[in-house]
Amino acid sequence: MSFSNNKVCQRRLAVHRLGFAVAALCFGLLGWSGAEAAERWSSTNLQLLYGDNYELGPKERTILTLEHASGWEYGDNFFFVDVTDFEDEGTSLYGELLSRLSLSKISGRKIGVGALSDVLLAGHLEFGEGVRTYLYGIGTNWDLPGFAFFKLDFYVRDEPDLRASPTWQITPSWLLPFQIGPVKASLGGFVDFAGSQGERESSIVGAPQLLVDIGNFWGAPDRLHAGIEYQFWRNKFGIDGVDEDVVQLMLKWVL
């Protein structure tokens, strides 16, 4: 190995160690938060989705999702696990885990200006069959009129198995509840903008959801929601020219 290549490897190793340290700190506090700090809010739900016209594999798929979000004394946590049933081809498991530490809550004073309400340290893990990705960076919370929340997170994105320098990712996520007459509904979702890494091209994936609170019609609001999720992907899995557009039927049960 040449001296220059050795320097590159050392630099990459240092970046990986930094990322792992930040992720470990944030993820480790998931367990610490339950034992040492009072959780301020928590929400868990099950989702059932069905769609047709997926790329790279069976066109028809049914997905069962367990999703959890919570806020505690020094930040917030989020995770989901997807169990995907491929038409006549078995199932797969995929999940993501995100934990953020609020600089405002840690310091005891607001870190932000104007609509920017908070700045956070963020660690994010993607895992599944053949998937292992670490993300670490800065999260932001925004107070926007009408929105239950609006978050904009900036990451270093690292897939160690690609054996290439880390790239970047920017992720907005939001929830906008609204009501038309007796109909309570919401528009929520996320979009991941990711740079290229190794042989993977840059990509965009998003999943906005339009849901109606159908439980509200029989006196049980915020429990059962139905609607659609539109999943769009440009350069799916970083493969140049593989684009996906799927409208999925969606049922969501808040536990």
Which pLDDT band holds residue 89 (cuts at 50, 70, 90)? confident
CATH number of the domain at 3-254, out of 3.30.830.10, 2.40.230.20, 1.10.630.10, 2.50.20.10? 2.40.230.20
Q: Where are the domains of the chain?
A: 3-254
pLDDT for residue 231 is more than 90: yes
What is the identity of the amino acid at 154?
F
Which pLDDT band holds residue 34 (cuts at 50, 70, 90)? very low
pLDDT by residue (tens digit) across 106-144?
A: 999 999 999 999 999 999 999 999 899 999 999 999 999
Query: Exposed, middle or buried by CB within 10 Å (0-12, 13-18, 19+), for 215?
Result: middle
CA distances (Å), origin 35, targets 38, 74, 116:
8, 13, 30
Q: What is the DSSP letter of 12?
A: H
Residue 242 backbone phi and psi in degrees, to 5? -90, 105
List residues bridging with 200 in a β-sheet.
Answer: 197
pLDDT for residue 205 is more than 90: yes
Lowest mean pLDDT among 6-10, 149-153, 176-180, 250-254: 6-10
Residues, the chain: 255
Question: For all residues of the chain together, what is the average pLDDT?
Answer: 90
Summarize the confidence of residues 9-29 as an average pLDDT.
47
